[in-house]
Amino acid sequence: MILRGIAASDGIGIGKAVCVREQSLDYSAVKYGGKEVEKDRLQAAITQFNEKTTAMAEHIRAQVGEKESEILTGQIMMLSDPFMQSQMEEVIDAGQCAEAAVDQVCTMYAEMFAGVDDELMRQRATDVRDIRSRMLAILLWVTGVDVSHLPAGSVLVAHDLTPSMTVGLDKEHVAAILTEVGGRTSHSAILARALELPAVLSVPRVMEQLKDGDSVIVDGSEGTAMVNPDQRTLAEYLAKQEEFLRRKALLAVYRDRETVDAEGNRYALYSNIGSPAEAGAAAEAGAEGIGLFRTEFLFMDRNSVPTETEQYEAYLAVSRIMAGKEVIIRTLDVGGDKAVEYLGMAHEDNPFLGHRAIRYCLDNPDLYKVQLRALLRAGAEEKNIKIMLPLVTSLEEIRGARALLETCKAELEAEGLPYHKDIPLGIMVETPAAALIADLLARECDFFSIGTNDLTQYTMAVDRGNAQVENLYTTFHPAVLRSIRSVITAAQKAGIPVGMCGEAAADPRLIPLLMTWGLDEFSVSSSAVLATRAQIHRWHAAQAAQITQEAMSLSTASGVEGYLQSAVKD
């Protein structure tokens, strides 16, 4: 039997299935003890939850890393939200027990987050469900799931791999992970990759289809799992597993190398991050700079706008970690799939085309100036920070942001605070409008960075979260490739650097095209740095140019993708 899901963490895992099932959290027999008693029970459970989660986060930090531990500390922040707690107390005031309060409020939040298109936001639904389960377990005195004593060679099978389940997980005993939910950017995937465990997520009804002791092969690169395979298949995948480990070991030699092609031509290889903690992981992975720092995550999971000092300290921390290397920081990109409740953004029927990103910021200059001042101040020390504007469609937006930036400089000058007087200002080219007038925009920018995720979505008029049309979402479409080429050409003619921070920057099939067109900087996830460097290293300019010419002569996305797939260098 072959099961299929989402390829979430590379590698081949072979072992015996261990199906992890949650214990019952039925609270129907719990009697209401009165408002004060139930509120005391709720607060005691919250205190216990926070203490346990803090200890768990410390364990994850020591065993896996800072970035992964933030998944758990984020849960503490969510449950500590006074608004969430007041909603629970309202349920108690209405005559229901603490268990019902936790259940109802967490379920409401989980459903709200689950309805958002963006995978990162949907992941918050998983966090809230984890909070719900663990809070109910505390209130009901139920022992949680323990995966710390699995036998060697276990293929962990679960509905979801929650952050709390990973605490104490002995990765030496776990061969692979299979779950019924989760995507490439889910916490399950992040934790699996951090633990270097092959994982296939969102396998339909996997808990029903597997039983304890089944032999399983998990191919985390292809997104498949073979159940009770025959000897021939087993031998085939043992060989694949050995080859995967060999290739992984070979990539390690690229960690401290420069990013150059086969002829020694130099490229910049940066990393995309979402928090200061991730900067350390990027540096450790061999990134030569930060190509995209998504600042909106500083604004989430809290009740108010981060202060200038808070933002300044976050940006400065990244600047110091990457001392001597560029740090490109994207200003607040909210709206669309990134809702921040306390900002009071109005409901929109089509938020992806609505009042978001640079549009929202320019219409809220007081909020925007706090961020711009923090960026200017943080840039004063290392002078390696560059400011990037999201979702630009016109020159007026660049001019508006630059005018606000000059106002902030004047204010800081008057206050006697140090700031980076010549901080570079660039844009993320991620709309068809920006791509079509890239030559005009380049005259007033210090740099470009191409955001292929949204550029592809908007160019193809495809909602990538809609399963009925997701097959149309492809960077290999000639329209998308021509847009990318024209943006790079416009930047070259204007004499400004151009990078790419979308997922396409790490796609080995597209690397020869991007090299040929003259992309200066590739910005990828930390986990993709070494593989991207290795791919760039293998290409001669003439070979890449020949591949590019052939690919651009093809007229369909499937034709381009098929041809480039066959041309990838192993």
Task: Residue 332: name the closest of 417, 288, 389, 412 by CA.
Answer: 389
**Is-contact 68 60, C-beta < 8 A?**
yes
Q: CB neighbours (10 Å) of residue 113?
A: 19
Measured distance CA(248)–CA(225) in Å, rounded: 21
**Is-contact 514 261, C-beta < 8 A?**
no
**Is-contact 381 320, C-beta < 8 A?**
yes
Cβ neighbours for 2, distance < 8 A, ≥ 6 positions apart: 224, 225, 226, 227
Residue 112: helix, strand or coil by DSSP? helix
Helix (H), strand (E) at residue 450: strand 448-450
Task: Residue 105: name the closest of 79, 144, 71 by CA.
Answer: 79
Q: Which amino acid is at 94?
A: A
Measured distance CA(43)–CA(41) in Å, rounded: 6
**Is-contact 430 455, C-beta < 8 A?**
yes
* DSSP strand pairing (521-524 vs 498-500): parallel
Q: Which amino acid is at 260?
A: V
Measured distance CA(275)–CA(298) in Å, rounded: 7
Measured distance CA(461)–CA(49) in Å, rounded: 44
Just list the catalytic residues: 187, 501
Measuring CA to CA, how many Å separate 566 from each of 248, 251, 532, 551, 562?
21, 21, 18, 11, 6
